[in-house]
Each structure stands twice: as C-alpha cells, then as structure tokens.
Structure 1
Amino acid sequence: MNDWPDYEEDDINHGSFVFYESFFLSMESLKFEEIAMFLDAICRYALYEKTSDLPPNIEGMFKLVKPQLDANLRKRRNGKLGGRPIINKP
C-alpha cells in the first residue's frame, strides 16, 4: 500500500538526518564542485553509513563533521531501545 522502496534487511537507509548550520557555514570558501563532494559525503554517511575516497581538503572537513553524524546515529539507535523502563510503584 505504501510507496516506500523495498530494502534488504542488511541495507541501511535512515531516511533522514539533521543538517546543522555549522555544516553549511563550513562550505563558504569551497568551489561548487567541492561543495557537491562535501554534501555527497555527508548525505551518504548520514543516510547509508557509507564512506568514499575524498580529496584531502574535503576529507579534512568531513572528519570535523563525522563525530556529530556519529553522535546522531548513536542517538537514533539508542532511541529504538525504548527509553527508561517503567517503574511499578507499590
């Protein structure tokens, strides 16, 4: 009934991610082609947890963004655990 694509169990597709203003501001000095590579690297990692070979300047920028993306992925996984257990009060 839905229009969602069918994915294998081992395919990762988070569907969305948080894009911070700091990511955007860090691209100000880049050329258009470099911006495209940087955005592609961020999206591929945040959505599919895949990395690729990047030019040194883009790789350096990505290394600064990656810890925040990893933290967001960790929060997503921990959120699926259901949160704090309910305590039955006597």
Structure 2
Amino acid sequence: MRDNRDTFVFYRSFKECMSDLSDTDKLIMYEAISDYSLDLKEPHLVGFPKALFSLIRPILDANIKRWKNGSKGGAPKGNSNNKGKNKLTESQPKVNQDTTESQANKDKDKDDNISTKVDEESRKKDSPKVSLSDRNQKFKDELTSFVEQYGKEMI
C-alpha cells in the first residue's frame, strides 16, 4: 500500500467555510487540505486557519481511512462480507403458497395480546354509550375540587 494518494474528495462545505477568508488564508487552507489529504503531511497553521482546519480534519481523516481500507483489496472470497459475487440469482421466484407450512408461534405473548385486544373490543361494544355532554359534565364535576387551588378561570 502506498502512503500517498492521487486523489481526494473536496467538499463544497470546505469551500463555503473558507469563502470569507482573505486570499492568503484561502491559499494556506487549500494547501493544508491538499497536502494532508494527498501526502498525509501534517500542516503547521496558526490563527483562524488552524481553527478551521481542526474542524475539517475529522472529515479528511475519515476519507483517508476509507481509502486505506479500500486499497486493501476488499473481503476475501470466502468471507461473509464478500457480497455474494459468486452466488447465482434465480430468474423466477419460487411459487410456494401451496407448500408453505405453518410455523410455530415465535412470540409467546402474541396469543395473549390478541385475546386482550378482543376482550377490550368486546367490553367497548357491551358498555353503554355515554353522550359527549354527559362526559363533559363528568369532567367538569371532577375539576370543581381544584377551583379553590387554581381559580375558576384556569379550571
């Protein structure tokens, strides 16, 4: 593996964050970014360019890491990370609706959840309907005990 690169990614955000710099500082930043990205040369910066480079550096480091990992050649053929380059894809999916067997319930509580839902629905159907005005009045009655504490306007 080589220690230097032929290319690197220069993001729009790099250019935008340097837009207000003087031409001299822009040149210093462009040189620092390209030297660090291509040759892994540590820049010696001062002042604002140093602060700005410290924000850009993690992005450059991540790209350098990707480059180093990519130059290793990828996963070996038998490795599970090799994305199945030797696997053949079937041209047609299997029609298996008739041959699918029922499977055991993997979720122990699934039946309990279903029966609970059914019980709740049946209770709702069996309970008498209460009108909205009755529910409103019940709510107001429940709040009257708080009038002294919070005042009538708030309640």
Which TM-score band (shorter chain)?
A: 0.7 to 0.9
What is the TM-score of this pair, normalised by structure 2? 0.47
2:20 is aligned to 29
1:4 is aligned to none
Structure 2 unmatched runs, 5+: 79-85, 88-155
Amino acid at match of 2:51: G
| Number of residue pairs aligned between Structure 1 and Structure 2 | 80
1:3 is aligned to none
Deviation at 1:54, TM superposition (A): 1.0
Amino acid at match of 2:64: L
Structure with the greater alpha carbon radius of gyration? 2
Please, which of 63, 74, 78 is the counterpart of residue 72 of structure 1? 63
Rounded to whole Å, the distance in 2 between the matches of 1:52 and 1:23 is 16
Please, which of 76, 84, 102 is the counterpart of residue 85 of structure 1? 76
Amino acid at match of 1:82: G
Rounded to whole Å, the distance in 2 between the matches of 1:81 and 1:12 is 13
> Once superposed, which parts of structure 1, at least 4 consecutive aligned residues long, lie more than 3 Å away?
none
Identity level (%): 36
Supply the RMSD in Å over aligned alpha carbons. Answer: 2.1
Q: Pick which of 18-27 and 48-57 moved more.
A: 48-57
1:14 is aligned to 5
1:38 is aligned to 29
Q: Which has the higher contact order (CA 8 A, sep 6+)?
A: 1
